[in-house]
Amino acid sequence: MTINELTTRIQIQHNQEVSAFRHDITSAPYQAGTPSALNVARRSVRMQPVQSVGDDSANLTIVADVEGLAWFTADKGLLGSCITVSIAGHRRNTGTRVPLPLAECDAWIEAILGGSWITHVYRTGTPIEGNGRLDVASYRLFLDERRNPVAKPNAVADNTLRRMEAS
The pLDDT tens digits for 99-150 are 888 889 999 999 999 878 999 999 986 655 556 667 789 999 999 888 899 9
| Confidence band of 75 (pLDDT split at 50, 70, 90) | confident
Question: Which distant-in-sequence residues (6+ apart) come within 8 Å of 30 by Cβ?
Answer: 37, 38, 41, 68
Domain span at residue 66 reads 3-166
pTM equals: 0.86
Return d(Cα 125, Cα 127) in angstroms, integer: 7
Q: What are phi and psi of 38, to 5 degrees?
A: -60, -40
Looking at residue 30, its pLDDT comes to 47
The pLDDT tens digits for 14-52 are 999 999 999 988 876 544 344 555 455 678 899 999 999
Half-sphere exposure of 103 (CA within 13 A, CB side): 13
Return d(Cα 6, Cα 18) in angstroms, integer: 14
Number of domains in the chain: 1
Return d(Cα 104, Cα 52) in angstroms, integer: 8
For β-strands 81-91 and 42-51, DSSP reports them as unpaired
Return d(Cα 75, Cα 62) in angstroms, integer: 29
Average pLDDT, integer, range 71-86: 83
Give the three-class secondary structure for 75: coil
Give the three-class secondary structure for 76: coil
Asked whether the predicted pLDDT for residue 59 surpasses 80, the reply is yes
H or E element in which residue 4 lies = helix 3-13
